[in-house]
Structure 1
Amino acid sequence: MPANRIARTLLSTGMAALFVLAGCSSQTDETAKPDAAVPAVDFSSELTHLHGLHVGADGAVLAGTHTGLFAIDSSGATSRVGTSDDDFMGLTGVPNSDTVFASGHPGASSSAANPLGLRSSTDGGASWMDRSLAGQVDFHALTTDGRVLLGFDGTGGLLVSTDSGTTWMPGATLSAAALAITTSGVWAVTPAGLEHSTDTARSFSTVSDAPGLVMVAGAGDALWGIDEDGYAWRSREGKDWQKRANVGAVEALTAADYDTAYAATAQSLYTLK
Structure 2
Amino acid sequence: MKRTLLLSLALTPLLLTACGTEEAPSDTGQSENVTTPTKDEWQRVESDETVSHIHGAGFWQDDERPVIATHAGLIEYREDGWYTLPTNRHDYMGFEVVKDGFYASGHPDRRTDFKNPLGVLHGKDHGAMLEARSLEGEADFHYMSAGYETGTLYVYLEEATSQLETGFHRSTDGGRTFEPMQVNGIEGVQVAGIVADATDAERVFLYGPSGILVSNDAGDSFEPLVESEQVVTVGADDGQLAYIRRTGDSFEGVRYNLDDASSETFKLPTLQTDVVPIELVMKEERMLVVASDNSVYEFTDGEWQTRLDAGELD
If the TM-score is normalised by the length of the shorter chain, which range does it land in? 0.7 to 0.9
1:3–1:46: 8 Å Cα contact kept in structure 2?
no
Change over 3 Å in CA distance of 1:230–1:98 after alignment to 2: farther
CA distance in 2, matches of 1:149, 1:92: 10
Match of 2:279 in 1: 252
2:204–2:214: 8 Å Cα contact kept in structure 1?
yes
1:159–1:169: 8 Å Cα contact kept in structure 2?
yes
Q: Secondary structure at the match of 1:230?
A: strand
CA distance in 2, matches of 1:167, 1:149: 10
Letter of the structure 2 residue corresponding to residue 72 of structure 1: Y
1:101–1:118: 8 Å Cα contact kept in structure 2?
yes
Match of 2:174 in 1: 164
Shift of 1:81: 2.9
Q: Identity of aligned pairs, percent?
A: 25
State whether structure 2 residue 144 is matched by structure 1 residue 139: no
Q: Deviations over 1:24-62 (max 9, x none)?
A: xxxxxxxxxxxxxxxxxxxx7443211100211211111
Shift of 1:190: 3.7
CA distance in 2, matches of 1:267, 1:180: 24
Shift of 1:98: 4.9
CA distance in 2, matches of 1:182, 1:240: 18
State whether structure 2 residue 242 is matched by structure 1 residue 224: yes
Aligned residues: 232
Select the residue among 75, 82, 85 that pairs with 1:81: 85
Change over 3 Å in CA distance of 1:136–1:222 after alignment to 2: same
State whether structure 2 residue 262 is matched by structure 1 residue 240: yes
If the length of structure 1 is used for normalisation, what is the TM-score? 0.76
Structure 1's unaligned 5+ residue stretches are 7-43
1:52–1:64: 8 Å Cα contact kept in structure 2?
yes
Shift of 1:192: 4.3
1:50–1:251: 8 Å Cα contact kept in structure 2?
no
Shift of 1:250: 1.6
Change over 3 Å in CA distance of 1:192–1:251 after alignment to 2: closer
If the length of structure 2 is used for normalisation, what is the TM-score? 0.67
Q: Secondary structure at the match of 1:246?
A: coil
Shift of 1:209: 3.9
Change over 3 Å in CA distance of 1:124–1:180 after alignment to 2: same
State whether structure 2 residue 101 is matched by structure 1 residue 72: no
Q: Secondary structure at the match of 2:167?
A: coil
Match of 1:130 in 2: 132
Q: Secondary structure at the match of 2:177?
A: coil
Q: Secondary structure at the match of 1:78?
A: strand
